Amino acid sequence: MLEPFAAQVMALEANYLRVRLDHPGPDGRRLLLCTRRARLAHGGLKVMVGDRVGVEGCDWIEGRAAVGSLEPRRNQLQRPALANVDQVLVVMALAQPAIDPESLSRFLLSAETAGAEVIPVLSKADLVSDQQQQQWLDRLVGWGYQALAISRHDPAGLAALEDRLSRGVAVLCGPSGVGKSSLLNALVPELQLRTAAVSGKLQRGRHTTRHVELHDLPAGGLLADTPGFNRPELPADPELVAQLFPEIRQQLEAGVRCRFRNCRHLQEPGCGLQRQWERYPSYVELMG
């Protein structure tokens, strides 16, 4: 086997990186604890969880190595620091607390900045009627999303979500109190067992994430356990806002054309955008 070995960063632990090799080493090992080569720091390259890296200087007996190279990223999040994200799950509760359309919209727009697939996940579905669930699912179709409604009492909903997360790296976001920790534990049973053991020793009643870490999902794919990510952040530049709305992207992809290439889809002459969609007033407000 020739170095460098291709790997993915699974977690940052103090000054070390925990990486997983694409292919097992000579002893069958895939997980290694790594340092960073100085040339990465000198080049101003910051390694993030989710990064694809080249690993060298492997000590197979001790399970140690060094990260010597960093592959280009497809995308990245800054808070939390996470690279190569394929899906962002925006978790909102249908009840307790009741869903707030404006808050949901802002979280969806914030998630869109990652340049990944955005999936709205409506939690606590067992606390509302089937009709209320469907009303929200239909409403989100109008926003450009195929959402999922889930509850801890409905294995079918969780299985449907697992199926959509069977490839790539996914991350959860959403406000506090909507069930993100419960969903994480349901999707990653191993994490729930580990959390229970730690809570018992330290007499802590709840799981608190202190760093970003990737976990394997039973059906395939990886799910990031992240601190924070409970406040939506929108771009300061209004010119970037339009591309965050699926309602606008879908029209442009369908062939809608405007007279001016830099059309803001407000009051410009020759704007071809159809404006009879629910979130258009929110778009106008964000454009200032």
CA distance 96 to 111: 23
Whether residue 67 contacts residue 34, with contact meaning beta carbons closer than 8 Å, is answered with yes
**So what's the pLDDT on residue 208?**
52
The single-letter DSSP state of residue 120 is E
Break the chain into its structural domains and give their ranges.
5-72, 82-225, 238-287
Domain 5-72: assigned CATH number? 2.40.50.140
Whether residue 224 contacts residue 82, with contact meaning beta carbons closer than 8 Å, is answered with yes
Beta strand residue intervals within 27-116, DSSP E: 31-36, 52-59, 64-70, 76-77, 82-83, 87-93
Which CATH number is correct for 82-225, 3.40.50.300, 3.30.420.310, 3.20.80.10, 3.40.50.720?
Answer: 3.40.50.300
**So what's the pLDDT on residue 192?**
67
**So what's the pLDDT on residue 265?**
94
Q: What is the pLDDT along the chain (288 residues), one digit of tens a residue?
A: 677 999 999 999 888 999 999 999 988 999 999 999 998 877 788 999 999 999 999 999 999 999 999 999 999 998 889 999 999 999 999 999 899 999 999 999 999 999 999 999 999 999 999 999 999 999 999 999 999 999 988 889 999 999 999 889 999 999 888 888 889 888 988 776 454 444 454 443 344 556 889 999 988 999 998 876 777 888 888 888 999 999 999 999 999 999 998 899 998 999 999 999 999 999 999 998
Give whole-number Cα distances, 62 to 31, 32, 34, in Å: 11, 9, 11
Burial of 169 (0-12, 13-18, 19+ CB in 10 A): buried
**So what's the pLDDT on residue 197?**
46
**So what's the pLDDT on residue 205?**
37
Q: Where are the alpha helices (DSSP H) in 165-188?
A: 180-187
Give whole-number Cα distances, 33 to 48, 67, 145, 251, 274, in Å: 14, 10, 39, 48, 54
- The reply to whether domains 5-72 and 82-225 share a CATH topology is no
User: In CATH terms, is domain 238-287 a member of 2.30.300.10?
Assistant: no
Give me the sign of the Cα torsion angle 37, 43, 46, 52. Answer: negative
**So what's the pLDDT on residue 198?**
43
The CA-based dihedral angle spanning residues 56, 59, 63, 64, taken in that order and rounded to the nearest 10 degrees: -50
**So what's the pLDDT on residue 236?**
82
